[in-house]
Chains A and B, each alone.
Chain A
Amino acid sequence: MESQKTISIDGRDVPLEGEKSLLEVIRKAGIDIPTFCYVSELSTYGACRMCTVDIEGRGLQTSCSTPPEAGMKVRTSTEPVRQLRKVALELILANHERECPSCAKNLDCRLQDISKKMGVGKVRFRNVSQQAPIDETVAIRRDPNKCILCGDCVRMCGEVQGIGAIDLAYRGHDVRVQPAFGKSLDEVSCVFCGQCVRVCPTGALTPMSETGAVWKDLHDPKKTVVAQIAPAVRVALGESFGYAPGEVTTGQIVAAMKMMGFDKVYDTCFAADMTILEEGNEFIQRVTQGGTLPMFTSCCPGWVKYMEQFQPDLLGHLSTCKSPQQMFGSVAKDIVAPEMGLRREDMVVVSIMPCTAKKFEAKRPEFARDGVGDVDHVLTTIELVQMIKECGIQFRDLKPEAMDMPLGFKTGAGVIFGNSGGVMEAALRYVYEKVENKVLEDCEFHEVRGEAGLREAQVTLAGQTFKLAVVHSLDNARQLMERVKAGTSGYHFIEVMSCPGGCINGGGQPVSFKRDARKKRTEGLYQADKAQQLHKSQENPCVLELYEKSLGSVGGRKAHHMLHTHFGARRRIQGQTLELAGGPAGDKLLVKVCMGTSCYLKGSQSLMQRLARHVAEQQWQAQVQPQATFCFEACDRGPTVQIGEQVLHHCTYEQALDAIEAALALRQRRMGAEA
């Protein structure tokens, strides 16, 4: 019998089971080698050097970048290895703002954790950290002084999300992570998914805290503070209090929030059930009335911002439904508040979300009236944990309490919204019964569950076969969008969530040192679905009652007004228009041609060239100044050309010429009149 292939690690034979790196084998062997820049879902980077080990015959090597080979003899803690790790760690600490007690990541910080384990007594090197300004955005706080340049955020943003909103800039000791042109994350293509926050080992990237504002409203006797809790929060919050990932602690969360002074605690799952009715109905309508297909889900604010910035041509595919958070906000402020005898401004809606992008969503102007949003504050799971701890509440000792009614009532369909594939599954449970007009017995659709980046399913409804797709992480979504644009996708309905695994793995969830946390949280939500009495949104009696009493019919006029929204093209870089080519115009007629990606892809460059050539041929140089510029935020209507004050969309060469000639003629007439 052939003996199994093994590696000797610290004298013990460890079998090889297809691991990609030596590091994985070592960790499997029960040795927790420290790392900062190793994240299994990202490319190997090899920068922190902490995972260095001694391989017989090869000397010191980083285990993350070494493929395991049978027969290797590895020592993980020799004198030179320990010495190297210690020096590397001291070097990192010497360039780190060590204000630990006041750091948001205090006690959840990998740098602290590893420093403690390595027993760094004293940092012998000079402190070389330089004070750089902190970038506080609507959703994410970026503190470069805490950054250890492991590059995890950069690779997450580029490789998994396909966005590249941040990258390394400069060289030598001046290297830093920053958005393009040193701008704020608010002004670039960041979609605020917070995956960078999730992988950051230090306090360099954290959710932008809103706890202060929430406390202020809780303490204000004139305000009635109501909360909604997103499904994914309940399977992760407990981790911060010693519960296993996936363990549902809804009751304790409600109890804690009531103790903190929340007047009502409701469930976002209720609004998720509403979303299913509206979205399912919209899908059926699009199918039956020849609307734009495939239809995309629109619950995920990171995904929506991505679409507005990168795929403006496909915005018509997005379901017009508001996300559950915003549906809840509308219902709370415009239906529940009056019922409670409150003025709109006296009710404060606080969302507890696993997500940083929800902070951005709540601040979108479409969701506000007179400057006051439907949702006032968004707390991430991490922030709520901090507030509970601040109050000294012994979370584990709490007696579970029930959510308030009626907005606290949900079905299992609303609960699974937190998993990738959950929205699709919930929608299927509704659409099936609606279209087939019969009861769906087994309502679990296992085809749309799982971990694959793209999952496909087919259902036959009323004799017609529908192709469905579920994607998570935005680079997967981007690839799928290419197929949609090419017309080769063949799908009817696509669910997209920005975060790998869905909301349970959002940027606002507690830091987990446990490697299977994501899987356990996913299972937790499916278990929670099983635990519910009802599993289909259309069976939610409180939702049905709300429609009957206040909203009218699903997809009807009032529902549409309150529960749907619109989207628009959005620039990726904020700020002034960039003049890319062409000189100052003086009093010449300015012809600005957009060279942004969308317009460029629609031929704006050759348009610009032809116009410039024509201007030269006609010897109009004294009167006309063509100029290449950047982004009119009308990407879906490109190429966009501005001639004087007139903005032309879908502009052709002939149209531009006509407009230039007309503008020149007008100028001449004016000049004649003045003379």
Chain B
Amino acid sequence: MQTLRSPMEVAFEGREGLRKIVICTGTGCIANGALEVKEAFQRELAAAGFATVEHFTQLGQLKGGDDSAYLSKSGCQGFCQMGPLVSIQPEDILYTKVKASDVKAIVERTLKAGELIPELLYANPVNKTRCRSQHEIPFYKSQTRFVLKQCGDLDPESLQEYLAIGGYQAAKRCWTELTAEDVCKEMLDSGLRGRGGGGFPTGRKWELTRVQPEPKKYVICNGDEGDPGAFMDRSVMEGNPHSVIEGMMIAARGIGADEGYVYVRAEYPLAVKRVRQACADAREAGLLGDDAFGTGRRFDVQVMEGAGAFVCGEETALMGSIEGERGMPSPKPPFPAQSGLWAKPTVINNVETLATVPLIMAMGAKVFRGMGTGTSPGTKTFALSGHVLNTGLIEVPFGLTLRDVVHGIGGGVTNRQGKLDAKGFKAVQIGGPSGGCLTQEHLDLPLDFDSLRSIGAMVGSGGLVVMNHGTCMVAIARYFMKFTQQESCGKCVLCREGTKQMLLLLEDIVEGRGSLETLDMLQELGTAVQRGSLCGLGKTAPNPVLSTLRQFRAEYLAHVVEKRCPTGECKALAKPEIAAERCKGCGLCMKKCPVGAISGELRKPHSIDDALCIKCGACAQACRFEAVVGV
């Protein structure tokens, strides 16, 4: 068994002196100008007399030498807030926030003169030291980049490069050396669990599908990533599309499928383009098609753009959508393994799961089990966002604690001004609109499927939103409820009507109309929706509400009993007052008040008329003495 080689190693083989410049062209970096940076490199390298190639296949034209360069692009490297990212190899330099205007200097000073440009290096915000490479940056240091490893290195549009690092070898072995039973068994032994949210053992899913007598079967890659703020699957599809296709080929071999679909949400145009290209390239190379790996057996993959609905990420709805139906979940049983796409046995796996598969087949189940925890082996990618210093796409082994993620990789919690606040941690919303919240007491909880489930949260698709003390948990619950309500397919009563009523109750609370009865009703309704909804979307929709009700009951009580929002986020509950001892009577607030609710004599404390006040907060913003409180 062998693992994949690094793209760098492959590129430098026999080419002494070659420089590889990798520009991150993930969606985030492109939005920040990565393509302009790339053009600048093309210009400046030519001007400086470098012999430059841009495609892996052209590397043969280069003999090496100090004036040769391989200008490559990569998928998302995860640290999107610092993009565009440019790395230079073999020196292993990572430049951040690179602008096209910086490129001339990079070519002249770094490539030609061999010196570092400190301003472009990442500065550790804690001690201001500059980090030369990824390995020195705290954001990367605590991560285990396994599935994402190639994403930041490999040219996602080059099949040749993927092949050169050993790609498709695992699939080839499965197709030419192993039986279907072997493949399923290896997967079962690896303990891999679905990364899409549920955490169902992948091997079991495959085995259930394999044993179905029906000769026609399908493999579907679920790339309909819809959680707000989550972009793990997008990054994999954009950064290493062939790994997904290879995973599908292995699944196809395991269950005996001859057709596959990648269902990508239409809002991911780059992912659609790259996966489509990858399929075409693989077909051209004879990997996909009627004669996979020369075995005479068929497997081909089609790419299907999603219909723009969150619920299409639910597997039965997704299959309906492929069939041209309205994306609505249907009751299980029958499970997709029994009767899936066009009523044929179907394996449907998430992008990250499938991208993990070739790695497992290459390294072996046993080695894979060495990562992560006993019941949750391997790694998991998360989209880290919210009130932390470092945000972006991360990958960690299962079992790492929340503390390691928030304080280690995330660099700590920030306050409203974006400054580090050692005591700022309030909660983490994990798993997006289907997940729950974790609090102070869970900081040392190992992040894995089972420990999260035990406390009523879930890995979900992997959104991790860190919140500081300024965040109102009721408002957060309402935000997610609004999302699920809008995205409900409207089929089953409990989800369609239940989430609507829950949303109304939450609106009552944040707008000051709530009572203790409202909380009881919310609890009862949430439990009913959880128990009685048709699909996973509905069943998990109440999670953010129920978990905040449990963890932050005092905050809910403050809203309904005292009619007060402890964080001041709920504007309707604000009671702006002027603290007489701080008020200098400058009259600025009076001028700014749009409804004339403030009165007072010059140089004497002013006051606000409750009856007129619309709680807009303009007075508080205007006051230079922080005399307006309660907003």
Interface residues of A (CB under 8 A from B): 44-49, 52, 59-60, 62, 64-67, 80, 83-84, 87-88, 91-92, 94-95, 124-126, 128, 148-149, 151, 167-168, 170-175
* Cα(A50)–Cα(B332), bound, Å: 16
Q: In the assembled complex, which residues on chain A have CB atoms less than 8 Å from the CB atom of B501?
A: 91, 94, 125-126, 128
Closest to B501 in A: A125
CA distance A173 to B533 in the complex (A): 15
Cross-interface CB contact of B497 among A60, A80, A83, A91, cutoff 8 Å: A91
**Which chain A positions have C-beta within 8 A of B486?**
171-172
Q: How far is the CB of B434 from chain A (nearest CB, A)?
A: 16
Q: Is the CB of A173 within 8 A of B528?
A: no
Supposing A44-B331, A49-B532 touch, asked if A87 and B496 sit within 8 A by C-beta, the answer is no
Complex CA distance for A87 and B525, rounded to whole angstroms: 7
Q: Are A91 and B493 in contact (CB under 8 A)?
A: yes
A83→B528 contact, CB < 8 A: yes
Question: B131 on the interface (CB 8 Å rule)?
Answer: no
Contacts A46-B330, A87-B525, A128-B501 known; A173 to B490 CB distance under 8 Å? Answer: yes
The docked-state distance in angstroms from the alpha carbon of A602 to that of B331 is: 40
Asked whether any CB of chain A lies closer than 8 Å to the CB of B321, the reply is no
**Cα-based distance from A47 to B329 in the complex (angstroms):** 10
Assembled-state Cα–Cα distance A92/B493 (Å): 7
Q: Which of B474-529 contact A (CB under 8 A)?
A: 485-494, 496-501, 504, 521, 524-525, 528
Contact present for B497 and A67 (CB under 8 Å): no
Interface centre among B485, B532, B533 (most CB of A within 10 A): B532
**Which of B311, B496, B532 is close to A173, meaning CB atoms less than 8 Å apart?**
B496
User: Are A172 and B488 also in contact (CB < 8 A) when A49-B493, A52-B532, A87-B524 are?
Assistant: yes
- Residues in A neighbouring B330, C-beta threshold 8 A: 44-46
Q: How far is the CB of A57 from chain B (nearest CB, A)?
A: 15
> Residue B534 at the A interface, CB < 8 A?
yes
> Which of the residues A59, A87, A170, A171 comes within 8 Å of B498, measured between beta carbons?
A87
B497 near A92: Cβ-Cβ < 8 Å: yes
**CA of A360 to CA of B309 in the docked complex: distance in angstroms?**
38
Question: Can you list 11 A-B contacts (CB < 8 A)?
Answer: A44-B330, A46-B492, A49-B532, A80-B531, A84-B494, A87-B498, A92-B493, A125-B501, A148-B493, A171-B487, A172-B486
For the complex, is B60 an interface residue (Cβ under 8 Å from A)?
no
Compute how far the CA of A44 lies from the CA of B333 in the bound complex, rounded to whole angstroms. 11
Q: Knowing A87-B494, A92-B493 are in contact, say whether A66-B333 is a contact too (CB < 8 A).
A: yes
Pair B494/A88 contact, Cβ less than 8 Å: yes
Q: Mark B453-472, 1 if CB is under 8 A from A, else 0.
A: 00000000000000000000
Cα separation A62 to B493 with both chains bound (whole Å): 13
Chain A residues, Cβ within 8 Å of B297: none
B528 touching A172, Cβ below 8 Å: no
Q: Is the CB of B492 within 8 A of A172?
A: no
Name the residue on A nearest B538 (C-beta).
A49
Contact of B528 among A64, A88, A128, A151 (CB under 8 A): A88
Complexed CA–CA distance, A85 and B485 (Å):
21
Which residues of chain B come closer than 8 Å to A45, judged between CB atoms? Answer: 330-331, 491
Q: How many A-B residue pairs have CB under 8 A?
A: 108
Q: Nearest Cβ in chain B — how far from A164, in angstroms?
A: 11
The answer to whether A167 touches B326, judged by C-beta atoms less than 8 angstroms apart, is yes
Report if A49-B333 is in contact (Cβ < 8 Å); known contacts: A91-B497, A128-B501: no
Contact A47 B493 (CB under 8 A): yes
Nearest residue, chain B, Cβ from A84: B532
B contact residues around A125 at 8 Å (CB): 497, 501
CB B169 to nearest CB in A, in angstroms, measures: 43
A78 to B130, CA, bound (A): 65
Complex Cα–Cα for A168 and B497 (A)? 16
- Chain B residues near A44 (CB, 8 Å)? 330-331
- The CA of A175 and the CA of B489, in the complex, are separated in Å by 8
The CA of A535 and the CA of B172, in the complex, are separated in Å by 75
B498 neighbours in A (Cβ, 8 Å): 87, 91
Most-contacted residue by chain A among B489, B490, B498 (CB, 10 A): B490
In the bound complex, do residue B521 and residue A172 qualify as a contact, i.e. CB atoms below 8 Å apart?
Answer: no
Q: Smallest Cβ distance from B165 to chain A, in angstroms?
A: 43
- Contact status B534-A173, CB under 8 Å: no
Question: Would A67 and B500 be within 8 Å (CB), given that A84-B532, A172-B487, A175-B490 are in contact?
Answer: no
Nearest B residue (CB) for A91: B497
Q: Output the least CB separation between A147 and chain B (Å).
A: 11
In angstroms, Cα B525 to Cα A94, docked, is 13
| Cα–Cα distance between A151 and B490 once the two chains are bound (Å) | 11
Q: How far is the CA of A209 from the CA of B488 in the complex (A)?
A: 36
B490 close to A126 (CB less than 8 A): no
Among the interface residues A60, A124, A173, which one has the most CB atoms of the partner chain B within 10 A? A173
Which residues from chain A contact B333 at a C-beta distance below 8 Å?
65-67
A151 to B497, CA, bound (A): 15
Check B525–A49 contact: CB distance below 8 A: no
14 other A-B residue contacts (CB within 8 Å) besides A87-B528, A171-B487, A173-B500:
A45-B491, A49-B532, A49-B534, A60-B531, A84-B494, A87-B494, A88-B493, A88-B494, A128-B501, A149-B491, A168-B328, A172-B487, A172-B490, A172-B500
Q: In angstroms, how far is the closest chain A Cβ from the Cβ of B228?
A: 15
Q: Which residues of B contact A64 (CB under 8 A)?
A: 331
Q: Which residue from B489, B531, B534 sits with its C-beta under 8 Å from A171?
A: B489
Contacts of B311 in A (CB 8 A): 171
| Given A44-B331, A47-B491; A175-B496 close (CB under 8 Å) | yes
Question: Which chain B residues border A84 with CB–CB below 8 Å?
Answer: 494, 528, 531-532
User: Which 7 pairs across A and B sit closest by C-beta, in order of nearness?
Assistant: A175-B490, A65-B331, A46-B331, A91-B497, A87-B528, A173-B500, A47-B492
In chain B, what residue has the closest Cβ to A175?
B490
**Nearest A-chain residue to B310, judged by Cβ:** A171
How long is the Cα–Cα vector from A643 to B480 in the complex, in angstroms?
A: 56
Output the nearest chain A residue to B504 by Cβ-Cβ distance: A126
A675 to chain B, nearest CB (A): 53
**Complex alpha-carbon distance, A91 and B526, angstroms:** 13
Enumerate chain B residues within 8 angstroms of A48, measured Cβ to Cβ: 492-493
CA distance A49 to B524 in the complex (A): 16
Shortest Cβ gap from B436 to chain A (Å): 20
| Minimum distance in angstroms from B307 CB to a CB of chain A | 11
Whether the Cβ atoms of B497 and A95 lie closer than 8 Å is yes
- What is the CB-to-nearest-CB distance from A140 to chain B, in angstroms, rounded to a whole number? 22
Minimal Cβ-Cβ distance residue in B for A49: B532
A265 to chain B, nearest CB (A): 46
Chain B residues closer than 8 Å to A60, beta-carbon distance: 531-532
A91 to B499, CA, bound (A): 10
**Chain A residues, Cβ within 8 Å of B528:** 83-84, 87-88
A168 to B328, CA, bound (A): 10
CA–CA, A49 and B539, complex, Å: 13
**Residues of A close to B494: CB separation below 8 A:** 49, 84, 87-88, 91
Minimum CB distance partner of A174 in chain B: B490
> Closest CB-CB distance, A327 to chain B, in whole Å?
43
Given contact pairs A128-B500, A175-B496, A151 touches B491 in the complex (Cβ within 8 A):
yes
Q: List residues of chain B with CB within 8 A of the CB of A88.
A: 493-494, 528, 532
**For residue B521, which residues in chain A have a CB less than 8 angstroms away from its CB?**
124
The residues of B that contact A49 with a CB separation of less than 8 Å are: 492-494, 532-534
- Shortest distance in angstroms between B267's beta carbon and chain A's nearest beta carbon? 16
In the complex, chain A residues whose CB is within 8 Å of the CB of B492: 46-49
Q: How far is the CB of A95 from chain B (nearest CB, A)?
A: 6
Query: B203 → chain A, closest Cβ, in Å?
Result: 23
Closest chain A residue, CB of each to CB of B490: A175
- Residues of chain A within 8 A of B485, CB atoms compared: 172-173
Q: How far is the CA of A45 from the CA of B525 in the complex (A)?
A: 23
A63 to B488, CA, bound (A): 23
**Closest chain B residue, CB of each to CB of A50:** B493
Interface residues of B in 347-396 (CB under 8 A from A): none
- Closest CB-CB distance, B325 to chain A, in whole Å? 10
Closest to A89 in B: B493
Bound complex: CA A148 to CA B485 (Å): 17
Residues of A within 8 A of B326 (CB): 167-168
Question: How many angstroms between the C-alpha atoms of A557 and B500 in the bound complex?
Answer: 66
In the assembled complex, the Cα of A323 lies from the Cα of B96 at a distance in Å of 81
